[in-house]
Structure formats: C-alpha cells, structure tokens
Amino acid sequence: MNSEWNRTSTSESSDDRLLWSINAHERPTGLAIILWNRTYVLPWCQFIYAEASAEEIRLAFTTHDVLINGSRLDLLIADVSAQKISELREPAGRLDKFTSGNGLNITGISVRKAESQ
C-alpha cells in the first residue's frame, strides 16, 4: 500500500483487521469486496443504487448485487452514496463481528450476479 494512500484514507478495524476503507480525498474507481473464497472488484461507474436499513444494505451494480448484514449500517450509507468506500471484507467467522467505535457491526457480506429484468 503506498504511503500517499495511507495519508488520505481512513478505515475501521477490529484486532488489526481492515473492515472497510474510505478514501477521504479522492473517489475510488471501484469497490473491492474481499470474501474468504473470492474477491470481487466492482467499478463504481456501474453502481445503480443502494437500499439501507439499520440491519442491511443492498448495493445494486449492473452485474452484481451486494448484501451487507449487521447493525447500525445506516451509519455507513453516506459513504456508500458518496462512493467513498474502496474496500469491504467478509467477517473472519460466524462468531466474528466487525465493530467500529460507533456501534456499526458488519456480520456478513454476500455477492451474487444480478438477475436480468
């Protein structure tokens, strides 16, 4: 990771694991979703919309749908709508939770191909 990127980004972590990365000064070109068995990189230019509640965020891209489960996720939607998030990681295990200082928890992330309309 280059040092310039480190100065311009913020992240939340638990036990030194990266939860999500936000670039505070530049809009990233894509969103990397890192799951245990696969990594997806979805370009923000293909982002269609997001739906959010405190327990769930659904991100719709032209080719894939991303579902993020947890609690207090409504706190993350502003960064999603501004397309500032560059990386999301899947929790390490069923009992592991990604928790930030403000109570936001990510308990699961799933990605599936978008259905044709």
**Phi, psi (rounded to 5 degrees) for 85:** -80, 130
Model's pTM, two decimal places? 0.74
Residue 70 has pLDDT above 80, yes or no: yes
The domain total for the chain is 1
Per-residue model confidence (pLDDT) at position 67: 96
Considering only CA atoms, which of 36, 101, 113, 46 is closest in space to residue 75?
101
pLDDT band with cut points at 50, 70 and 90 for residue 102:
low
pLDDT band with cut points at 50, 70 and 90 for residue 94:
low
Owner of token pair 């990510």:
106
Determine which helix (DSSP H) or strand (DSSP E) holds 7, and give its type and residue range. Answer: helix 3-8
Integer Cα distance of 41 and 111 in angstroms: 11
Q: What is the mean pLDDT of residues 27-38?
A: 90
Q: What is the mean pLDDT of residues 13-31?
A: 63
Q: Coil, strand, or helix at residue 74?
A: helix
Q: What is the mean pLDDT of residues 30-57?
A: 94
> Can you give the residue range of the structural domain that contains 92?
3-113
